[in-house]
Amino acid sequence: MKKFMLIAVLGLAVLFGAIGCGSNAPLTIWVGAESVEFYSAKMIEYVEDYNAANEKEFPYEVTVVGVDSSTSAATFLDDTDAGADIFTVPHDNLGKLIAGSSAIAPVMSDSLLNQIENDNPQSFLDVIKGSVDGTQYTFGIPYVAQSLVLYYNTAYVTDEQAETWEGIWEAAITADKYALTLTATDGFNNSFLLLSTEADTHNTSLKLYEGGVQEECYALGDDTIAKLKWGQSFFMDANGAKAPSDSGWEVELSDDISLSTIGGAWHYEAAKSALGDNLGITTLPTFTLTEDSVYGTAVAGTVYKSGTFADTKMFVMKKNSDKADYLEDILLYLSSKGVQEESFEEAANLPAYKNASTEFSAFEEDTLDAKLATAQVEMFAWGLPQPFGYNSKFNTYYYSKGTPDLLLEIIENESGDFSTNQAIIDQLTIIESLWKTGLRPE
């Protein structure tokens, strides 16, 4: 049986698929709203194959629901009994899900564990595991990769100019526009300066919970100070970078107020709508330290590549689900390379498996989808998996204790309070303390 209907879930109008005809409560799967139709179709195929192979009907109706993956962990924890049997979260949500006795179940199937181990890059394998009562388990099943890229207006910015912030800045001065509007000012979407590394060596002094250790945070390196001083020149210029206005980054792109933005795959459709045939996509640009922006051991002329968090979205399973006997086989199927590739072609979800950039022929096509995929994959060389899933405190300390606003205050420097090196150092000292302890220094 196959049926689709429109319903409202968590305030969103999403496509809902109910598959199968079991009489018990449905087996529920949460995915991003953009992926509901695709995964509904895949579960129809799964149920049909199960029925044929076992000569009996799959025992449960399957419901695929669209839920914002960034908030799905919190939604699940608010009412675990009503939560999905399988749901999607970014890997940095793992800490909150396994805190205490854990609200999610570890992967126990050898076949699924082997597929996870064989198919995924080490950077993902490092962030999908967690310890409960002193024992480490694999909890996450990666199936989508994501990183930030540059969306830019090709009517004003050439492909060569898009390689550097200085080039985009030059185009903005010529056209009397802004070079960049941020999509948001949070610590994820505005991380390109903080996470930037030397273009030649990938070196950076920045530490964010290195090795999963709470105290291993460092924000006071000479290079960090110099990069933020360069950022000040970019954000303080009349044709430089800016935070989004009340109208939003989409309007600022479509109305030619700004020439570029930094975004993820989840911003892709909005960027296409804003720029149409003038949409360009590439990796995040480089920038070069000037004499005015150097500090300490940082040297003028050093080229930095803008950085990103390079993450996986993963499936996890409800602990003590009454459908537990069926979940791991479903996940073996949904996270397989073949389904990941189909998910890219149907819903523009970037495959998470480690050799996708060379094994998956769709990346070679001359399409915007392929350019988006290629840019994201290339940014993984300049990316850091969010290190916040080791402990539920880390995510809170990095995102919710005010440090993104403190960082924005430095680079915007609206009142001139951060025009001296010492003022920047003092602000970074507060940021580092909040990362480590959640508290400002005394």
Q: pLDDT digit string (tens) for 116-139?
A: 999 999 889 999 999 999 999 999
- The answer to whether residues 153 and 35 belong to one domain is no
Alpha-carbon distance of 406 to 228, in angstroms, equals 12
Q: What tokens appear for 215 in the block? A: 């105290």
Average confidence (pLDDT) over 400-427 = 97
The predicted structure's pLDDT at residue 442: 86
Alpha helices in 176-292 (DSSP H): 222-236, 249-254, 268-275
Q: Is the pLDDT confidence value at 305 over 90? A: yes
The answer on 334 and 297 residing in a single domain is no
Verify that 256 and 210 share a domain, yes or no: yes
pLDDT at 383 over 60: yes
- The Cα-based distances of 111 to 108, 118, 131, 336, 411 in angstroms read 9, 11, 21, 11, 49
CA distance 442 to 54: 66
Backbone angles phi, psi at 425, to 5 degrees: -60, -45
pLDDT at 20: 52
* Rounded CA separation 395/123 (Å): 18
Give the number of C-alpha atoms closer than 13 A to the C-alpha of residue 154, restricted to the C-beta side. Answer: 11
Whether residue 188 lies inside any domain: the answer is yes
Residue ranges making up the domain that contains 221: 148-309+401-437
pLDDT at 251 over 60: yes
State in Å, rounded, how far the first CA of the chain is from the last one. Answer: 64
Q: Is the pLDDT of residue 16 over 90?
A: no
Q: How confident is the model at residue 19 (pLDDT cuts 50, 70, 90)?
A: low
Q: What is the bridge-based pairing of β-strands 308-309 and 241-242?
A: unpaired
Q: Is residue 184 part of a domain?
A: yes
- Residue 408, pLDDT above cutoff 60: yes
Looking at residues 24-42, what average pLDDT do you find? Answer: 94
Average pLDDT, the chain: 92
Tens of pLDDT, residue by residue over 336-374, are 999 999 999 898 899 999 888 888 888 888 899 899 999
Distance of CA 24 to the CA centre of its chain: 36
When pLDDT is cut at 50, 70 and 90, the band that residue 286 belongs to is very high
Q: Which residues pair with 28 in a beta bridge?
A: 63
What gap in Å lies between CA 226 and CA 424, rounded to an integer? 10
- pLDDT reading at 169 higher than 90: yes
Percent of the chain with pLDDT over 90: 82
In a shared domain, residues 229 and 83: no
Instruction: Give the model's pLDDT for residue 123.
Output: 87
As a whole number, mean pLDDT of residues 152-166 equals 98
181-193 confidence digits (pLDDT tens): 999 999 999 999 9
Judge if 305 and 430 occupy the same domain.
yes
User: Beta 308-309 vs 383-384: how paired, if at all?
Assistant: parallel
Secondary structure (3-state) at 339 = helix
Beta carbons of 240 and 178 less than 8 angstroms apart: yes
Q: How far apart are CA 263 and CA 150, in angstroms?
A: 6
How big, in percent rounded to 5, are the helix, strand and coil portions of the chain?
Answer: 40, 20, 40
Task: Return d(Cα 442, Cα 313) in angstroms, integer.
Answer: 38
Considering the domain architecture, whether residues 180 and 288 belong to the same structural domain is answered as yes
109 shares its domain with 131: yes
Question: Quick one: pLDDT at residue 358?
Answer: 84
Find out whether 314 and 87 touch, Cβ atoms under 8 Å. Answer: no
221 and 303 together in one domain: yes
Q: Are residues 138 and 160 in the same domain?
A: no
Do 266 and 167 reside in the same domain of the chain?
Answer: yes
Residue of 264, 39, 257 lying closest to 146 (CA atoms): 264
Which of these, 305, 313, 268, lies nearest to 283 by C-alpha position? 305
Most confidently modeled range among 234-238, 344-348, 349-353, 391-395: 234-238
pLDDT surpassing 90 at residue 320: yes
CA–CA dist 196, 231 (Å, integer)? 11
Identify the pLDDT of residue 348: 83
**CATH assignment of the domain containing 357:** 3.40.190.10
Q: Is the pTM of this model over 0.95?
A: no
Residue 388 in any domain: the answer is: no
In a domain, 394, yes or no: no
Q: Please name the residues in contact with 158: beta carbons below 8 A apart, sequence gap of 6 or more.
A: 167, 171
Total count of domains within the chain: 2
> What is residue 70's predicted lDDT score, i.e. its pLDDT?
83
Residue 192 lies in a domain: yes
Residue 315: pLDDT band (50, 70, 90) is: very high
Write out pLDDT tens, residues 57-111.
999 999 999 999 889 999 999 999 999 999 999 999 999 999 888 999 999 999 9
More confident residue, 223 or 266: 223
How many residues in the chain? Answer: 442
